Amino acid sequence: MLYTFSESVYDSVELERYFQLLTDRDAVVLWQNGVVLLLKYPHLFTKKNSASCYVMEADIRARGLKNMIPSFVNLISMSEFVTLTEQFSPQIAL
């Protein structure tokens, strides 16, 4: 499954519920204001998380967060995001 987060208003309890469902066959994409979740809840975005984590590079750059992103988080372009949508289904936008 592909989970996309575009807002930063989620609390840690709600996010943890979603993240407990993640497997190694899932991916998480943070975009728009959702990229701020990496800074708000870094404990949820760790290497031990079984799903791959991606963030939209344009959104990271627009917010000046490029140097604050952990090395295991994958920065992607819009065309790479489209490729992810082809690889993962179903998809849920949160």
Instruction: Tell me what pLDDT residue 83 has.
Output: 95
pLDDT in tens, the chain (94 residues): 999 999 999 998 999 998 888 888 999 999 999 999 999 998 888 766 678 899 999 999 999 998 888 888 899 999 999 999 999 989 989 8
Instruction: Tell me what pLDDT residue 48 has.
Output: 61
As a whole number of angstroms, the distance between CA 25 and CA 92 comes to 14
* E-state strands within 1-94: 2-5, 27-30, 52-56, 74-76, 91-93
Instruction: Tell me what pLDDT residue 56 has.
Output: 97
